[in-house]
């Protein structure tokens, strides 16, 4: 079966099978398909060019994860202002237009230093009426090139996480704390994050998802206003602007340390419970 798949589809399927296997979901795909895909990957190997690209993506993700707030001492983090007041709700039919207005207001933004190195401003992606929203840290190289959030290797992992929840990427809303790529994928400076995040808060207030998932310590810090290690924020549901907020690892961090995927899956299951989503009957779930 794998011989008839184009390379991109095969790579995506192999990656997804590996992700489910890391989660402990052993029965999500039929076993013969898993083995055929993984065997094909092993036997044929990835073409050199694709392997080089994947390596660069992994290195980029690693560098982003290495520079993330998880690795910084709490004392090194500077204070941030209180989040803006909660805006009035927007009727479901008007949300797309309301988001468009925010995008237009941002314009060709030069409000912080990050504009200097950006290629494309990354506003958001997904359904303006989503019940589930993900917030990450900021665009990486792929996102900066395409103008969309989470489209690189970390994005593929996020797509797999969303699919494991029984949802499609188009059914959720995805945004970042900052909308322009920090140089070298470094963590946004507090001044940059504090300048940009009011737009994120406005997006959140418009979409008003039932559940918001903060991906990584930077998103959690600037959303919750808690200078706290990720370990102290995970594992519970936070009240946030009339919504429920759950904190989990950034996909780039999970690429660096795949052992934490099961922990991330536990966080996502918490989100699924809040949303009333059931695990697929065919999934075994993590042990
Ligand atoms: Fe403007 Fe945000 Fe980009 Fe800074 S990161 S230039 S505030 S859009």
Helix (H) or strand (E) run with residue 126 in it: strand 125-126
Domain of residue 121 covers 92-275
Mean pLDDT across 150-175: 97
130 in a structural domain: yes
**Total structural domains within the chain:** 2
Is 214 found in the same domain as 133? Answer: yes
- Dihedral of CA atoms 125, 131, 132, 137 in degrees, nearest 10, equals 50
1 in a structural domain: no
Is 116 found in the same domain as 202? Answer: yes
Is 148 found in the same domain as 29? Answer: no
**Ligand 1 centre and the CA of 251: distance in Å?**
22
Q: Whose CA is nearest to atom 7 of ligand 1?
A: 196
User: pLDDT confidence of 259, banded at 50, 70, 90?
Assistant: very high
- Among the atoms of ligand 1, which is closest to the Cα of residue 138? 5
Six-digit token pair at 131? 């019940």
Is 106 found in the same domain as 58? Answer: no
CA pair distance 23, 258, nearest whole angstrom = 9
Is 219 found in the same domain as 106? Answer: yes
pLDDT in tens, 101-142: 999 999 999 999 999 999 999 999 999 999 999 999 999 999
Is 146 found in the same domain as 39? Answer: no
101 in a structural domain: yes
Q: Taking a C-beta distance cutoff of 8 angstroms, is the pair 130, 172 a contact? A: yes
CA pair distance 285, 275, nearest whole angstrom = 18
**Ligand 1 centre and the CA of 156: distance in Å?**
25
pTM value is 0.77
Is 165 found in the same domain as 48? Answer: no
Six-digit token pair at 230? 């990720």
CA pair distance 68, 239, nearest whole angstrom = 24
168 in a structural domain: yes
Is 203 found in the same domain as 140? Answer: yes
Write down which residue in 66, 84, 116 finishes a domain: 66
- Looking at the chain, the whole-number percentage of residues with pLDDT higher than 70 is 72
- Report whether residue 179 contacts ligand 1, using a CB cutoff of 6 Å: yes
188 in a structural domain: yes
Is 26 found in the same domain as 102? Answer: no
Q: Taking a C-beta distance cutoff of 8 angstroms, is the pair 260, 227 a contact? A: no
Six-digit token pair at 188? 């946004």
Is 248 found in the same domain as 118? Answer: yes
Residue written as tokens 């990720």? 230
Stronger pLDDT, 270 or 1, i.e. the higher one: 270
- Report whether residue 279 contacts ligand 1, using a CB cutoff of 6 Å: no
Is 259 found in the same domain as 123? Answer: yes
Write down which residue in 66, 82, 112 finishes a domain: 66
CA pair distance 180, 159, nearest whole angstrom = 21
């Amino acid at each position: 079966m794998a011989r008839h798949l184009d390379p991109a589809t095969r790579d995506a399927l192999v990656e997804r099978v590996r992700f489910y296997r890391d989660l402990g979901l052993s029965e999500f795909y039929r076993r013969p398909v898993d083995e055929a895909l993984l065997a094909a990957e092993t036997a044929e190997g990835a073409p050199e060019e694709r392997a080089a690209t994947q390596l660069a993506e992994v290195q980029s993700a690693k560098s982003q994860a290495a520079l993330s707030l998880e690795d910084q001492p709490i004392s090194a983090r500077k204070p941030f202002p209180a989040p803006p007041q909660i805006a009035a709700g927007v009727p479901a039919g008007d949300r797309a237009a309301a988001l468009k207005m925010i995008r237009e207001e941002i314009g060709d933004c030069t409000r912080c230093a990050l504009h200097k190195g950006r290629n494309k401003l990354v506003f958001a992606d997904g359904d303006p009426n989503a019940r589930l929203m993900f917030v990450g840290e900021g665009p990486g190289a792929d996102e900066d090139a395409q103008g969309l959030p989470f489209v690189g290797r970390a994005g593929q992992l996020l797509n797999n996480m969303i699919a494991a929840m029984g949802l499609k990427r188009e059914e959720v809303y995805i945004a970042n704390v900052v909308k322009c790529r920090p140089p070298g994928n470094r963590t946004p400076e507090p001044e940059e994050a504090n300048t940009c995040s009011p737009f994120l808060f406005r997006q959140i207030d418009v979409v008003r998802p039932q559940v918001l998932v903060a991906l990584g310590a930077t998103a959690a810090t600037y959303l919750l206003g808690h200078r706290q290690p990720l370990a102290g924020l995970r594992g519970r549901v936070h009240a946030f602007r009339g919504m429920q907020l759950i904190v989990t690892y950034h996909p780039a961090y999970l690429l660096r340390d795949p052992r934490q995927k099961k922990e991330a899956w536990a966080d996502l299951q918490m989100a699924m419970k809040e949303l009333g989503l059931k695990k697929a009957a065919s999934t075994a779930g993590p042990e």
